[in-house]
């Protein structure tokens, strides 16, 4: 049951799109994406420098990626609950300290002698994953609650659109310096970002809820004690599956698809990820405007998801002949999954203030955590079918769940968020 809270609605003006919470959330997500995708970009060069062959780079790299995604899954629950119990800002501070220190530690992996370097690498990516899990959900929740409802979609898209360019900076940092230095830069940017967060104030909606002692906040298990709430929660997760199918398999493992497609040019996963995120950042900026124009979150996401499916089909079965075409398709797929910010916003808007941070933080990280079964299924399918078919099978399942979820989830465009579950 939804119970209204008491808070005067904020004034509707476009100036609020450039307020400190929005700017800091955007910069925070920039650093978050930089650090989140950095392993995917340095996976091949770092593991090659550590003496692994091509087959080991594929299997060990996937294992380390899965450890990072496992950290995101657990961290999503941890930070989500803390976000509703202790406040949105406590998560923004705590998460960035965690992943910044873990990324600095990753820069020393090739010098580790006190334990197996690969085990150390996986452990540090796991810790980084825990830290990275808190940034987006807490930032989107805070921005959603401080902006007027008429500007929520544009505000959250602005945060994600700016933030996702962190992938571009990560790629060029690796190209211009070294993969070790790229980890140090990521950790340093995170620590520097803490200074900007000092002036950010807590969400008024959250402050009002804390004054109501009888309200239960951050109860993660409550998603599973009510059928309607559980259905909404699972559908929110389902909407995001195609996004990380594209990122986690088609972009991160793009070198394998390049070989399977018979391309003469060696495909660089770091470059594929960068172009994917250039498209994603553009799509995120467009998705907010599209949602406002259509007056529907669902229609905007469904259109972009359909576009992604079309380009994925061309990527796998379109007879790609050149690296230029391949990277262009990565950019177009990225544009299609540019509903990422809208997807997280939908997750935040589906639930009351006492569960909003928990939902907005756990939902995207559940999707990231589901990269583990996706990559595992892909690896298990490869021996019996070829790389292309293995990717297609995993993708078919992801898109089927994604379309069902977005078509049946409740619409939240223009929804008043000042209520409790």
DSSP 420: E
Q: Give the gyration radius of the chain's Cα atoms.
A: 20
The larger pLDDT score, comparing residue 416 to residue 390, is at: 390
| The pLDDT of residue 171 | 87
Residues 130 and 193: their CA atoms lie apart, in Å, by 18
Mean of pLDDT over the chain: 84
Return the percentage of the chain with pLDDT > 70, whole number.
87
DSSP string, 189-215: HHHHHHHHGGGPPPPHHHHHHHT-TT-
In angstroms, the CA 227 to CA 46 distance is 46
DSSP secondary structure of 93-149: HHHHHHHHHHHHHHTTGGG--SS-HHHHHHHHHHHHHHHHTTHHHHHHHHHHHHS-G
Tokens of 396: 């078919």
**pLDDT tens figures, 186-235:** 999 888 877 766 655 444 444 455 555 555 555 677 888 889 999 999 99
Task: Evaluate if residue 1 carries a pLDDT over 70.
Answer: no
What pLDDT sits at residue 7? Answer: 42
In this model, does residue 109 exceed pLDDT 80?
yes
Average pLDDT score over residue span 288-294: 85
Q: Could you count the other beta carbons within 10 Å of the beta carbon of residue 207? A: 12
- Residue 160: the pLDDT is 74
Please determine, for residue 87, whether its predicted confidence score (pLDDT) is greater than 70: no
* 88-97, 287-296, 331-340: the lowest-pLDDT one: 88-97
Q: CB within 8 A of 114, min separation 6: which ones?
A: none
Question: How many C-beta atoms surround the C-beta of residue 161 within 10 A?
Answer: 24
Q: Give 232-285 pLDDT, tens digit per residue.
A: 999 999 999 999 999 999 998 999 999 999 998 899 988 998 899 889 888 888
Q: What is the pLDDT of residue 206?
A: 46
Q: Is the pLDDT of residue 402 over 90?
A: yes
The CATH number of the domain covering residues in 12-215+223-420 = 1.20.1250.20
User: Is residue 239 within 8 Å of residue 400, measured between CB atoms?
Assistant: no
In the block, residue with structure tokens 């995708």: 37
Q: With a cut of 90, say whether residue 140 has pLDDT above it.
A: no
pLDDT at 291: 86
pLDDT score of 340: 86
The pLDDT value given to residue 199: 54
* pLDDT above 80 for 413: no
**Helices 152-163 + 20-49 axis angle, to 10:** 30
Q: Is the pLDDT of residue 152 over 80?
A: no
| Over residues 288-311, mean pLDDT | 92
Q: Is residue 5's pLDDT more than 50?
A: no
Tens-place pLDDT, residues 314-326 = 999 998 989 999 9
Hey, how many other C-beta atoms are within 10 angstroms of the C-beta on 230? 13
pLDDT band at 154 (very low <50, low <70, confident <90, very high): confident
pLDDT at residue 9 in the model: 41
Q: Which residues pair with 4 in a beta bridge?
A: 419
The model's pTM: 0.75
Provide CB contacts within 8 A for 64, sequence distance 6+: 39, 43, 118, 121, 122, 125
Distance, CA of 287 to CA of 418 (rounded, Å): 24
Mean pLDDT for 352-370 is: 82
Supply the pLDDT for residue 295: 85
Nearest to 71 by CA among 79, 60, 83, 61: 79
Note the pLDDT of residue 221: 79
Residue 2 has pLDDT above 80, yes or no: no
- How confident is the model at residue 197, as a pLDDT? 62
304's tokens: 């972009």
């Amino acid at each position: 049951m939804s119970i209204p809270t008491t808070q005067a609605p904020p004034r509707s003006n476009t100036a609020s799109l450039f307020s400190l919470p929005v700017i800091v959330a955007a910069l925070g997500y920039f650093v978050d994406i930089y650090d989140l995708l950095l392993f995917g970009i340095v996976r091949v060069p770092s593991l090659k420098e550590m003496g692994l062959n091509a087959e080991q780079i594929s299997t060990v790299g996937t294992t380390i990626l899965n450890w990072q995604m496992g950290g995101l899954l657990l961290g999503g629950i941890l930070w989500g609950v803390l976000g509703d119990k202790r406040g949105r800002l406590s998560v923004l501070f705590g998460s960035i300290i965690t992943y910044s220190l873990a990324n600095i530690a990753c820069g020393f992996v090739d010098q580790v002698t006190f334990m197996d370097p690969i085990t150390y690498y996986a452990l540090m990516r796991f810790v980084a994953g825990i830290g990275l899990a808190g940034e987006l959900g807490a930032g989107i929740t805070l921005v959603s609650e401080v902006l007027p409802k008429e500007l929520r979609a544009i505000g959250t898209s602005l945060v994600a659109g700016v933030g996702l360019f962190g992938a571009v900076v990560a790629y060029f940092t690796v190209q211009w310096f070294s993969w070790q230095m790229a980890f140090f830069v990521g950790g340093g940017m995170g620590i520097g970002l803490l200074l900007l967060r000092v002036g950010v104030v807590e969400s008024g909606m959250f402050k009002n809820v804390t004054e109501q002692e009888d309200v239960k906040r951050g109860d993660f298990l409550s998603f599973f004690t009510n059928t309607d709430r559980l259905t909404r929660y699972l559908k929110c997760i389902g909407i995001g599956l195609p996004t990380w199918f594209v990122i986690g398999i088609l972009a991160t493992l793009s070198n394998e698809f390049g070989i399977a497609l018979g391309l003469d040019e060696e495909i660089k996963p770091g470059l594929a990820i960068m172009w994917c995120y250039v498209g994603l950042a553009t799509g995120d900026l467009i998705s907010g405007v599209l949602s406002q124009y259509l007056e529907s979150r669902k229609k905007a996401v469904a259109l972009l998801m359909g576009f992604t499916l079309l380009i994925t089909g061309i990527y796998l079965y379109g007879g790609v002949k050149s690296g230029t075409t391949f990277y262009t398709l990565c950019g177009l797929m990225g544009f299609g999954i540019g509903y990422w910010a809208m997807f997280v916003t939908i997750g935040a808007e589906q639930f009351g203030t006492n569960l909003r941070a928990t939902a907005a933080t756990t939902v995207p990280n559940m999707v990231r955590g589901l990269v583990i079964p996706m990559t595992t299924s892909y690896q298990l399918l490869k021996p019996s079918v070829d790389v292309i078919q293995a990717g297609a099978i995993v993708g078919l399942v992801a898109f089927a769940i994604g379309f069902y979820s977005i078509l049946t989830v409740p619409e939240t465009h223009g929804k008043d968020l000042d209520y409790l579950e």
